[in-house]
Amino acid sequence: MPEPDEAERLRQLDERISRLRAAHEPPPPRPDGHALGQVAWRMVTELVAGLLVGFGIGFGLDVLLGTQPWFLLLFTLLGLAAGIRTMMRTAAGLQRQGEEEAAAAARDREGTKRG
C-alpha cells in the first residue's frame, strides 16, 4: 500500500496530467453547423443587392435622360463594385472575429497551463 505522501503525489500528478490534456485538446466545434452557409448567403445577397440597385438607378436615369445604355452600364458596374466592397468588408470582419476567438482560446490554454 502506498504511503500517504505517495498517494498525495499521485493525486497531484493526476491533476496535472488532466490540466495538460485539457490545454492541448482542440477547441470544441461551433454549436451552429450552418454558420458558413449563412455567411455565404449573406455575401451573395450583398453582391446581388448592389447589382440590382446600380441597375435600377442606371435604368431610371437612362429612361429619364434618354441616354440608353450608358447610365445603365455605368451604375451597374458601380453597383458591382459596391457589392464586392461590402463582401470584402464582411469577410474582413469575420476574419477579425475568428482571430479574436483564437487569441482568447490561446489565452485560456495559457492560463490553464499556469494554473
- Residue 50 buriedness (CB in 10 A; 0-12 / 13-18 / 19+): buried
- Determine how many CB atoms are found less than 10 A away from the CB of residue 72: 20
pTM: 0.63
Q: What is the pLDDT of residues 26-48, one digit of tens each?
A: 766 555 657 778 888 999 999 99
pLDDT tens, residue by residue, 65-106: 999 899 999 999 999 999 999 999 998 998 898 888 888 888
How far is it, in rounded angstroms, from Cα 59 to Cα 80?
15
